[in-house]
């Protein structure tokens, strides 16, 4: 089988992240030089950790500033306040924002504490804010074992937008260890939709380890289907998979 998307397989995740971080730093620099603020779509999970570590290193070396960067995170667990250690807001603060010069007002993450009555308006406002910022220049993605990007579980339509989503049992199981048990894992989240993600001008999906090899192969070479939301990337004009040798082993 041949994959239709560009795939870059690296010896290990640190290699991949060094390469991608240099590319993203160059992109931010070029956009800032053209007089614009750069708009990044960011992801959580274990996968982007070495990428964020590399961005922090570049920042410390004076090679990268976030002073003219605006960010939008993909998703947030419903019901978790930003102070909860497993909230994606806390994750981003810990793993990236707390170590770089990004202005607090430039950071956007869905609010997991929003009430039911305001949920729809909150999601619409998130979409409006992305549009008002000029759209996403670069979107970072991981991939869940269900093939999800963001929290777009099987059945998420290609044109879906930021909304309330239910989490797949597989996804909740995967999150259980860090929450200290399955019953602690939220059942819902707010997530950018597939349509929101696909509007990003440039996309990189990262995956490491043999546990991701099967779903990576499905996303790249299988049918384009809402059962594997990452398969929609096959139709994107500028999406690339960055893999380590284990995650790329099935190709
Ligand atoms: C969560 C996140 C996704 C992430 C996925 C994989 O579901 N919402 O954005 O890609 O986990 O997590 P990990 O990178 O830890 O394997």
Tens of pLDDT along the chain (251 residues) come to: 445 799 999 999 999 999 999 999 999 999 999 999 999 999 999 999 999 999 999 999 999 999 999 999 999 999 999 999 999 999 999 999 999 999 999 999 999 999 999 999 999 999 999 999 999 999 999 999 999 999 999 999 999 999 999 999 999 999 999 999 999 999 999 999 999 999 999 999 999 999 999 999 999 999 999 999 999 999 999 999 999 999 999 99
Q: Is the CB of 233 under 6 A from ligand 1?
A: no
Q: Is the CB of 36 under 6 A from ligand 1?
A: no
Residue 25 placed within a domain: yes
CB-based burial, 10-47: b 16+ in 10 Å, e otherwise: beebebbbbebbeebbebbeebeeeeeebbbbbbbbeb
Helices (H), the chain: 13-33, 49-60, 88-95, 119-132, 169-179, 194-198, 213-221
What integer pLDDT is reported at residue 3 of this predicted model? 52
What integer pLDDT is reported at residue 201 of this predicted model? 98
What integer pLDDT is reported at residue 2 of this predicted model? 47
**CATH code of the domain covering residue 90:** 3.40.50.1360
Domain that residue 32 falls in: 7-244
Q: Is the CB of 46 under 6 A from ligand 1?
A: yes
- Beta 7-10 vs 239-244: how paired, if at all? parallel
Residue 74 placed within a domain: yes
Residue 8 contacts residue 241 (beta carbons within 8 Å): yes
Cα 73 from Cα 67, distance rounded (Å): 17
Q: Is the CB of 47 under 6 A from ligand 1?
A: yes
Q: Which amino acid residue places its CA nearest to atom 1 of ligand 1?
A: 45
Residue 204 placed within a domain: yes
What integer pLDDT is reported at residue 89 of this predicted model? 98
Q: Is the CB of 140 under 6 A from ligand 1?
A: no
What integer pLDDT is reported at residue 4 of this predicted model? 77
**SS3 assignment, position 192:** coil
Residue 2 placed within a domain: no
Residue 251 placed within a domain: no
Q: Is the CB of 171 under 6 A from ligand 1?
A: yes
Residue 89 contacts residue 72 (beta carbons within 8 Å): no
Residue 161 placed within a domain: yes
Residue 250 placed within a domain: no
Q: Which amino acid residue places its CA nearest to atom 3 of ligand 1?
A: 150
Mutate to test the pocket of ligand 1, among 17, 47, 112, 197 (most ligand atoms within 8 A of CB): 47
Q: Provide the domain count of the chain.
A: 1
DSSP 1-61: ---SS-EEEESSHHHHHHHHHHHHHHHHHHHHHTT--EEEEE--SSTTHHHHHHHHHHHHT
Residue 249 placed within a domain: no
Phi, psi of 23 (to 5 degrees): -65, -40
Which of 231, 159, 146, 236 lies closest to 200 in space, CA to CA? 236
């Amino acid at each position: 089988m041949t994959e239709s998307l560009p795939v870059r397989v690296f010896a290990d995740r640190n290699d991949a992240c060094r390469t991608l971080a240099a590319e993203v730093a160059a992109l931010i620099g070029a956009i800032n030089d053209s007089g614009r603020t750069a708009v990044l779509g960011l992801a959580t999970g274990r996968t982007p950790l070495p990428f964020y570590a590399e961005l922090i290193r570049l920042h410390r070396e004076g090679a990268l500033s976030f002073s003219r960067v605006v960010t939008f995170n993909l998703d947030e667990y419903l019901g978790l306040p930003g102070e909860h250690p497993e909230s994606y807001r806390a994750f981003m603060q810990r793993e990236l924002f707390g170590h770089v010069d990004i202005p607090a007002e430039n950071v956007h993450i869905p609010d997991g504490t929003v009430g039911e009555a305001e949920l729809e308006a909150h999601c619409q406002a998130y979409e409006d804010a992305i549009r008002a910022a000029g759209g996403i220049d670069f979107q970072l993605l991981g991939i869940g074992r269900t093939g999800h990007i963001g929290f777009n579980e099987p059945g998420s339509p290609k044109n879906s937008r930021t909304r309330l989503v239910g989490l797949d049992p597989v996804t909740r199981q995967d999150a259980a260890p860090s929450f200290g048990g399955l019953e602690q894992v939220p059942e819902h989240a707010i997530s950018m939709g597939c349509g929101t993600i696909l509007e990003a001008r440039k996309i990189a999906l990262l995956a490491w380890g043999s546990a991701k090899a099967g779903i990576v192969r499905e996303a790249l070479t299988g049918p384009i289907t809402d059962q594997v939301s990452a398969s929609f990337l096959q139709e994107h004009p500028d999406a690339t998979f960055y893999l380590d040798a284990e995650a790329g082993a099935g190709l």
